[in-house]
Amino acid sequence: MATSEFLHPSLAFIIVALILPGLPRAGAGRRLARYLPLLPPALAVYAAFANVPGTYATVHWLGQTLTLGRLDAMSGLFIQVFAIMSLAGIIFALHVEDRWQQVAALFYVAGAMGCVLAGDFISLFLFWEIMAVGSTFLVLAGRSRESVLAGFRYFLFHVLGGLFLLAGLVWRYKATQSFAFEAALPFGQPWGGAPYDWLILLGFCVNAAVVPLHAWLPDAYPRGTVTGSVFMCAFTTKTAVYVLMRGFYGWEVLAVAGTVMAVYGVLYASMENNARRILAYHIVSQVGYMVAGIGVGAAMTINGAAAHAYAHILYKGLLFMSVGAVLFSTGTARLDELGGLAGRLPWVMVLYMVAALSISGLPVFNGFISKTMTIAGAAQEHRTWIALGLEVAAVGTFVSVGLKLPYFAFWGGKPLDMKRELRPIPANMYAGMALLAGLCVAQGLYPDLLYRCLPIPMTEANHNLYQPWTAWNVLQALMLLGFAGLAFYFMRGVIRPHAGLNLDFDWFYRLAGRGLLALICRPAAWFDSIWGNVYRSLGLAGLKLFAAFTVFFDKSVIDGVVDNSACGVRGLGRLGAVLQSGRLQQYLAMMVTFIVVILALIWYLG
């Protein structure tokens, strides 16, 4: 198919991002700047459903062939949900006057979509870095000391991941003479990858927040702006899930790493006090389901990972929107400072619960039709420990996000809080939340809305037929969630949130940082002290001696020459004054004397 028949969704985002800063700040320009960002996601939604699978936008550059538009079932699924999420996110952020936030968000989404459609490692890397820079500015847009420091740490992590990716793809090109982005190994050889494959995998795992490379996520996401964190929760990790699915399905290390992520994220989320930090740890946990499904590599688990990525973007975006609305209205996201808000923010509470029950996997919501597919696929492949680990994480998810967070944020055992001054929540924020909430329920009730978009067709031949709405699946989900709810009821006093920041692998990073500083600063301080002693004992004395010499030279030599010259000139001036008497006889006598002296010299010398 010709390139002209393909609409690349990233293009409109980049164009609008470049136009936006130049629009006037008042009048029609201000109104245009507010609503113009709606155009790119609207075009992206159209492109997601209108573009036909194929290979498009092939560019020949520096002797290489770049493919900017590889569209198939897998990339089409991610483009579709990215487009929907970008539309909901822009609607949610319509009230924001800070254009640089909008510009950063537009570039960020453009980078994510470009990565999904990239058919080669060069274009993938370019869009990968655009995504990293755009998301960094979304953290920095918080304009506080904490957000600036978190943004700096975030950027360092993603530069590190980008360097791993760059080193791997260059090494891969040297070995294979190709930049084509394809599966690293045939299925069934999970430990036989070349060194460059492991470097590329490591770069992808940084963006996927694979433990222990995850600390940037709970550090940065809670410190972004209300609207910026909504975008960030959707794109970085899910783009990494896509590239892992494309290039590393069936790698055993991912099955183990994903299970660890799922349990680890839940454990740390249960200890947190900041609502957005709780949600950030649950990104680690939920992405673990996807990474584990990719690692198992079966048709059902790959479909489960893709379905869960789609569902996760919708409900996680809604979670960050609703918690962001609470932060916007009250000025805080700390659970120990909240409570008694259910009656004052009823719609926020209802919309939050839609997302919370979705992530918990309750029947009727989309988490139920995606999460259970991954677990069932792992069990079908006789990966019992992986399936059990994911089930345990599901229970912890319901306890922390479905019960703990809403209980302490909206109720908390406190009376209706009528004293707190609440900032009115704009209608566009409610509109963005309502859009995602509707999709969460629609997919849960009608699974085929999602299943028909999955990358591997669900057939008996592919051994991936899955029907979520069976009596056993519903009963199992209700039993697990019921047990979790009962446990929370009896332990709600024990897990009451407390002020404080919990460090996980940050502790090791900080220890390494202190060690590096000690390695550099202590030798430098030792050298500085030695140099100070040498300077005080030798350098300073020498400087004083040199100063005394210059004083002596100035007085004895320079002043002598200058003063004697001045005295000589003064004497000649006085003599001239005496000789210039104005008498003719004196001038004739001087002339005769001068002639006699000259003649005498001639006679003597001759």
Give the other-Cβ count within 10 Å of 325's Cβ. 25
Judge if 268 and 223 occupy the same domain. Answer: no
Judge if 424 and 476 occupy the same domain. Answer: yes
336: tokens are 């120990």
pLDDT tens figures, 529-558: 777 777 667 666 777 777 777 777 766 767
User: Does residue 504 fall inside a structural domain?
Assistant: no
Judge if 339 and 378 occupy the same domain. Answer: yes
Taking 60 as the threshold, does the pLDDT of residue 189 lie above it? no
Judge if 56 and 120 occupy the same domain. Answer: yes
Taking 70 as the threshold, does the pLDDT of residue 468 lie above it? yes
Query: To the nearest whole number, what is the mean pLDDT of the chain?
Result: 86
Taking 70 as the threshold, does the pLDDT of residue 567 lie above it? no
Which among 266, 445, 420 has a CA at the least distance from the CA of 332?
A: 420
pLDDT tens figures, 220-245: 999 989 999 999 999 999 999 999 99
pTM for this entry? 0.83
- The pLDDT of 30-36, averaged and rounded, is 88
Judge if 355 and 395 occupy the same domain. Answer: yes
Buried b / exposed e across 173-183, counting CB within 10 Å, b at 16+?
beeeeebebee
- The pLDDT of 55-78, averaged and rounded, is 88
CA distances from 542 to 527, 529, 534, 536 (A): 21, 19, 11, 10
Judge if 141 and 42 occupy the same domain. Answer: yes
Judge if 71 and 186 occupy the same domain. Answer: yes
Judge if 474 and 547 occupy the same domain. Answer: no
Among 231, 247, 263, the domain-final residue is: 247
Give the DSSP H/E element, type plus range, for residue 70: strand 64-71
Among 474, 497, 520, the domain-final residue is: 497
User: Does residue 518 fall inside a structural domain?
Assistant: yes
CB within 8 Å of 272: residues ≥ 6 apart: 278, 281, 497, 502
Judge if 528 and 470 occupy the same domain. Answer: no
Q: How many domains does the chain have?
A: 3
C-alpha–C-alpha distance, residues 434 and 317, integer Å: 11
Query: Which ranges constitute the DSSP H helices of 398-505?
Result: 405-406, 427-445, 448-451, 471-491
Taking 70 as the threshold, does the pLDDT of residue 190 lie above it? no
C-alpha–C-alpha distance, residues 147 and 84, integer Å: 28
- Of 559 and 64, the structure prediction assigns the larger pLDDT to 64
Among 497, 526, 542, the domain-final residue is: 497
Q: What percent of the chain has pLDDT over 90?
A: 44
> ∠ CA 57-231-354 to the nearest 5 degrees?
120
Out of 24-28, 36-40, 361-365, 517-521, pick the least confident. 517-521
Taking 70 as the threshold, does the pLDDT of residue 559 lie above it? no
Binning pLDDT at 50, 70 and 90, where does residue 561 land? low
Q: What percent of the chain has pLDDT over 70?
A: 88
Judge if 101 and 121 occupy the same domain. Answer: yes
What pLDDT is attached to residue 1?
34
User: Does residue 56 fall inside a structural domain?
Assistant: yes
Give the other-Cβ count within 10 Å of 449's Cβ. 15
pLDDT tens figures, 141-174: 888 888 898 898 899 989 999 999 999 999 999 9
Judge if 275 and 231 occupy the same domain. Answer: no
pLDDT tens figures, 347-406: 999 999 999 999 998 999 998 999 889 999 999 888 889 999 998 898 888 888 888 899
341: tokens are 């808000």
Judge if 273 and 239 occupy the same domain. Answer: no
Taking 60 as the threshold, does the pLDDT of residue 186 lie above it? no
386: tokens are 């992986």
Out of 191-205, 255-269, 461-475, pick the least confident. 461-475
Structural domain boundaries enclosing 587: 510-605
User: Does residue 505 fall inside a structural domain?
Assistant: no
Highest mean pLDDT (candidates 300-314, 471-485, 568-582): 300-314
Across 318-372, the runs of DSSP E, i.e. the strands, are none
User: Does residue 502 fall inside a structural domain?
Assistant: no
User: Does residue 503 fall inside a structural domain?
Assistant: no
